[in-house]
Amino acid sequence: MTRSVLLVGVGGQGTILTSKVLAGGLIKLGHDVKMSEIHGMAQRGGSVTTQVRYGEKVYSPSIGKGEADVLVAFEKVEALRWLPWLKKGGTLIVNDYEIYSLPVLTGAENYPEGIVEQLEKAVERIIVLNAAKIAADLGSIKAQNIVLLGVLVRALGLDGKDGPDWLKMVRENVPAGLRDLNARAFEAGMNA
């Protein structure tokens, strides 16, 4: 059986790093893993998506509409934008965090209201948390991606004692000066 995880966010949120750590852990668990990433003007705050598929044998990294077992949204509008990719009965993990696009910043548009409520009506299994606040409370908002990784690992049931050493993998993939912070962020996500 192949499982599909779609991670969506905005440039600079660490979506790709999160996916790389996840893919590395899945490989250590013995899965065949395929990953792809799409950057939409990421350096200017555009969408960034990564697709991770794993199982005994995976032939393509691409996840079609209605095929994601888990959708991880690093920002609320991105959750709405990518919701059609989540399969019926899938799990939605949402960072209750807002990043304003240029039209919102200039006042040409308003940031949508009631996003979490819309998502809760549309999805049966949803996990909502403010990973940005959790990370900021730990020392840096930049670790919000690792908080979300902890939530994701737990949601996928990959947190067992027979699994890879996720904390070690997190430490190996972040700058040396941020290893302790990101380790705490991962643990916070696992316990959220």
- The whole-number pLDDT of residue 135 equals 97
Amino acid at 191: N
What digits encode the pLDDT tens for the residues 152-186?
999 999 988 788 999 999 999 999 999 999 999 99
Q: What is the rounded average pLDDT of the residues 10-21?
A: 92
Residue 45 above 70 pLDDT? no
Torsion of CA 75, 88, 121, 15, to 10 degrees: -10
Residue 108, C-beta contacts closer than 8 angstroms, at least 6 positions apart: none
Q: Please, is 111 exposed, middle or buried when counting C-beta atoms within 10 Å of its C-beta (0-12, 13-18, 19+)?
A: middle
Share of the chain above pLDDT 90, in %: 86
Helical segments of 29-178, H only: 76-82, 102-105, 115-122, 131-138, 144-155, 166-173
pLDDT tier at 46, thresholds 50, 70, 90: confident
Q: Which residues pair with 129 in a beta bridge?
A: 95
Which pLDDT belongs to residue 161?
Answer: 79
| pLDDT of the residue at 44 | 59
Does position 43 have pLDDT exceeding 60, yes or no? no
